[in-house]
Chain A
Amino acid sequence: GIKKDIEKLYEAVPQLVNVFKIKEKIGEGTFSSVYLATAQLQTGYEEKMALKHLIPTSHPLRIAAELQCLTVAGGQDNVMGVKYCFRKNDHVVIVMPYLEHESFLDILNSLSFEEVREYMFNLFKALRRIHHFGIVHRDVKPSNFLYNRRLKEYALVDFGLAQGTPDTKIELLKTTQSEGQQGSCLQNNPIVALGNEVSVSVTAPKQIAQQSASKASDKRSSSLSKIQSKQGRGGKEDSVHHSVQRSVFGERNFNVSSSTYQENSSTKLIKQSKMIDVSSRKLVTKKKIISTKTVSSGVARKAASGCPSNLACDCYATDRVCSICLSRRQQVAPRAGTPGFRAPEVLTKCPTQTPGTASIDMWSAGIVFLSLLSGRYPFYKASDDLTALAQIMTVRGSRETIQAAKTFGKSVLCTQDVPAQNLRTLCEKLRGTNSSCTRSKDDTHTDSVNDLDLPVETDKQCAPKTLGKEIQHIQSCQESDGALEVKATDMKGWDQVPDDAYDLLDKLLDLNPATRITAKEALLHPFFKDMRL
């Protein structure tokens, strides 16, 4: 197992042999494995390092982009930096300082309210920094934000899915017009199937990735972009394009491999160039379609064509689908990241490359905050995008979600009308122990299935009758969970969570990305008053 992996790593990258003592594997994901190692530095000290071994199928441009994020933005403001990098052929190992860190799940319910405030403040510091450089992380979640409780140290890690904003300062993340932009099909890229199986690994408390190898992040995606990799001293210019697309759990993989629009003879292809998508792990051949005449009917096939079929039907915003709308091209939009942390505009396949793209990270930060305030992690539990969207609706309201989606060009139809929850009430109910719901642990007669039939929408059902009467409430906590260290004298600040906290949460979980709070603004929010920037 692990021992063999370590041996193999030494074998693949022999430069590591006399430099590092590789101790153990501390993380494994789809695209990398992370090891803990020690190294002797010229300063005389022996230091712990994290070695991130990238999967050898990674394109050099992706690897370079990740390194560039670490070198340009990393090393300060709670953003992980890089110490060195070793390569032999297709094997690349990134060396980073090691930060010993907690398992989020283990400490979630023992953190004081003040620690939560510090945690969020430090997360925004990291996000402000990367967003300043035009980096969108796309996979913000606790396992990618290392936290050392004792030292009060933090590090945002893993730029394996990062994407650039239109004005990014990271050369290798520079992009052109986005794939999947509405309207014109002049820039459409047929996409080669990706077929990556997705597996969500459950975070075992003891097995947390140091440099999270994106545990649950399945595919990577970014958008059509053109990279001019200027090869140092007048080398040749590769022009590389990016295109995007990833499939999601449970969703059919709709990769398009056909290219031109067959029905259309006047379609001309120009220059084909290799395209790599810096996050979606696939190469695509770009075919620019110059002229496209109106398509004479003919039912398009499932294999989507390079151009959307613009045939109209009247299923729009109804409960119907027909062969016409189902034969249209799938909209391709980057949806990398971890389910449960994706913003609504990501879940609904909104094309990115708008200047507000960084707001998707702010949504994810809001989900982290939601976990901290409610004591639940992961908060959302969905294996596909639309289930995640439905779960968001139950918290933020279906009408509100639909309304916001309109602002970014999406029609969302939902058969359920669910009201928005009051965030304070929601978090307090989830954090507090409910006497009416608590089952004693040795109650083997309780059939959990019956629990599921309980109507839970009404506040009366589960709310502790003693809400507000602190003492009784605490007693019920102690009765139900001996492990919970709640003392009547010390609620760790949880008995007086200020309104500011929920106001900030509301602004982070703004369904409209255009008005969602930015990292810079969040740091100035009253919730953080008296904290030094």
Chain B
Amino acid sequence: GKRCTAQKSRTGRLKNPFLKVEDRSCHYRPFYLQLPSFPVLNYCVPKPYSPFEADKKHPSGQKQTQSKQRNKTNSEKDCGTPVQLPQRDKKKRGYCECCGKKYEDLQTHLESEQHRNFAQSTQYQVVDDIISKFAYEFVEYKDDTKKIKRTKCST
């Protein structure tokens, strides 16, 4: 690699134990990890759990009692209250590749004008081109439900 010459700068020291990775070109930001303790192979963890499953109580018959106890004794943190959870997982955050933007709620984004426009655009031609090469081998079930004409996909 290149030699990196000294410069005046504020420095910080990494605390032991740590791991630091840096590209040898010195063109990029180093990244590092400071651990409370370096991982250790623990042969005592029962199968099939990871030998690195050290800092966690592995699931066992006692798990339930454990968590019950925790709920009783650990009043300091209420982070694990299951009551709040159902509301939370409704919101699906993510990134839309079509619109090139992040969204806070998937459903809301899919209904947005920008996304609707993309969804109905010709951008999907590249997908349709591939679909057009597939052989359609299905037979429709004769259902009592409303008959839907067999539509060739997206034409």
Q: Are A324 and B51 in contact (CB under 8 A)?
A: no
* Cβ contact within 8 Å between B19 and A418: no
Docked complex: B30-86 residues within 8 A CB-CB of A: 30-33, 35, 38-44, 46-55, 57, 60-62
Given contacts A88-B154, A310-B27, A312-B5, contact A276 B97 (CB under 8 A): yes
Q: Mark B13-38, 1 if CB is under 8 A from A, else 0.
A: 11011111111111111111101001
Chain A residues whose C-beta falls within 8 Å of the C-beta of B49 in the assembled complex: 376
Interface 0/1 of A441-467, CB less than 8 Å to B: 100100010011010110001110000
Candidates B26, B109, B135, B141; contact of A40 at CB < 8 Å? B141
Q: Judge whether B143 is part of the interface by a CB distance below 8 angstroms.
A: yes
Chain B residues within an 8 Å CB radius of A148: none
The residue on A at minimum CB distance from B22 is A411
Q: Which residues of A contact B33 (CB under 8 A)?
A: 384, 386-387, 390
The answer to whether B9 and A409 touch across the interface, beta carbons within 8 angstroms, is no
**A195 vs B101: C-alpha distance in the bound complex, in angstroms?**
10
Which residues of chain A are near B11, meaning CB under 8 Å?
A: 315, 320-322
Q: Which of B42, B52, B55, B110 contacts A56 (CB 8 A)?
A: B110
A57 touching B7 by the CB < 8 A rule?
A: no
Give the docked Cα–Cα distance between A321 and B71 (Å): 41
Is B98 within 8 A of A59, CB to CB? yes
CB atoms of A313 and B7 under 8 A apart? yes
Number of interface residues of B (CB under 8 A): 95
15 pairs, A vs B, C-beta closer than 8 Å:
A15-B148, A18-B150, A41-B138, A60-B125, A60-B127, A63-B127, A64-B126, A87-B153, A108-B48, A195-B93, A320-B14, A321-B14, A329-B28, A414-B18, A414-B19
Selecting from A130-138, A425-433, A501-509, A511-519, the interface stretch reads A425-433
Interface of A is mostly: loop
What chain B residues lie within 8 Å of A89 (beta carbons)? 119-120, 124
Q: Is A395 part of the binding interface, using a Cβ–Cβ cutoff of 8 Å?
A: yes
Q: Which of A189-227 contact B (CB under 8 A)?
A: 192-197
Do residues B95 and A196 form an inter-chain contact, with CB atoms below 8 A?
A: yes
Q: How far is the CA of A58 from the CA of B41 in the complex (A)?
A: 40
Asked whether A320 lies within 8 Å of B125 as measured between CB atoms, the reply is: no
Known A281-B95, A457-B40, A462-B43; contact A60-B130, beta-carbon cutoff 8 A: no
Q: CB distance B100 to A282 under 8 Å? A: yes
Q: A67 is contacted by which of B24, B130, B153 (Cβ under 8 Å)?
A: B130
C-alpha gap A17/B97 in the complex (Å):
28
Complex CA distance for A195 and B100, rounded to whole angstroms: 12
User: In residues 475-489 of chain A, which contact B (Cβ within 8 Å)?
Assistant: 481
Interface assignment of B137: CB less than 8 Å from any CB of chain A: yes
Main secondary structure of the interface of B (DSSP, over half): loop
Assess the A194–B55 pair: CB atoms within 8 A: no
Q: Tell me the complex Cα distance, A85–B132, Å.
A: 9
Q: Are A60 and B123 in contact (CB under 8 A)?
A: yes
Contact for A85 among B119, B131, B138, B147, CB less than 8 A: B131
With A330-B29, A331-B28, A390-B38 already in contact, the answer to whether A376 and B47 are too (CB < 8 A) is yes
Q: How far is the CB of B54 from chain A (nearest CB, A)?
A: 5
Q: Does A292 contact B (CB under 8 A)?
A: no
Q: How large is the interface on A (under 10, 10 to 19, 20 to 34, 35 or more residues)?
A: 35 or more
Known: A314-B5, A390-B39, A416-B38. A323 touches B97 (CB 8 A): no
Q: Contact between B23 and A410 (Cβ–Cβ < 8 Å)?
A: yes
Residues of B within 8 Å of A429, CB to CB, are 43
- Distance in angstroms from A36 CB to nearest chain B CB is 16
Chain A residues whose C-beta falls within 8 Å of the C-beta of B5 in the assembled complex = 312, 314
Residues B41 and A109 in contact, CB atoms below 8 Å apart: no
Is the CB of A26 closer than 8 A to any CB of chain B? no
Contact A376 B12 (CB under 8 A): no
| A379 to B41 CA separation, bound complex (whole angstroms) | 11
- Total number of A-B contacts with CB less than 8 angstroms? 333
For the complex, what is the distance from the CA of A43 to the CA of B121, rounded to whole Å?
Answer: 36
Q: Are B153 and A86 within 8 A (Cβ)?
A: yes
A412 at the interface (CB under 8 A from B): yes
Of A82, A386, A426, which is in contact with the most chain B CB atoms at under 10 Å from its CB? Answer: A386
Selecting from A228-236, A491-499, A520-528, the interface stretch reads A228-236
Nearest CB on A from B132, distance (A): 9
A90 within 8 A of B: yes
Partner of A456, one of B27, B42, B120: B42
Q: Considering the chains assembled together, what is the distance between the CA atoms of A17 and B138 in angstroms?
A: 12
Interface residues of B in 86-143 (CB under 8 A from A): 93-100, 102-103, 106, 109-110, 115, 118-120, 123-131, 133-141, 143
Smallest CB separation, B140 vs chain A (Å): 4
Contact indicator B62/A304 (Cβ below 8 Å): no
Shortest Cβ distance from residue B105 to the other chain A in the assembled complex, whole angstroms: 12
- Chain A residues lying within 8 Å of B98, measured Cβ to Cβ, are 57-60, 90
Cα separation A42 to B138 with both chains bound (whole Å): 6
Closest Cβ neighbor of A321 among chain B residues: B12
Please name all residues of chain A whose beta carbon is closer than 8 Å to the beta carbon of B43 when the two chains form the complex. Answer: 429-430, 434, 437, 456, 461-463
B7's contact among A18, A40, A231, A324, by CB below 8 Å, is which? A324
In the complex, the answer to whether B138 meets A320 with C-beta atoms within 8 Å is no
Q: Check: A343 CB closer than 8 A to any chain B CB.
A: no
Residues on B with C-beta less than 8 A from A86 are 131, 153
Provided the pairs A40-B139, A431-B47 are in contact, do residues A329 and B29 lie with their beta carbons within 8 angstroms?
yes
Instruction: Give CA–CA (A379, B136) in the complex, Å.
Output: 43
Q: Which residue of B lies closest to A180 (CB)?
A: B28
A266 to B126, CA, bound (A): 39
Query: In the complex the two chains form, is A328's CB within 8 Å of B124's CB?
Result: no
Chain A residues in 8 Å Cβ range of B103: 57
Interface string of A348-367 (1 = CB under 8 A from B): 11000000000000000000
B30 near A377 (CB under 8 angstroms)?
A: no
Bound-state Cα–Cα, A395 to B60, Å: 26
State the CA gap A308–B96 with chains docked (Å). 28
Return B49 CB to nearest CB of chain A, in Å.
7
- Shortest CB distance B41–A (Å): 5
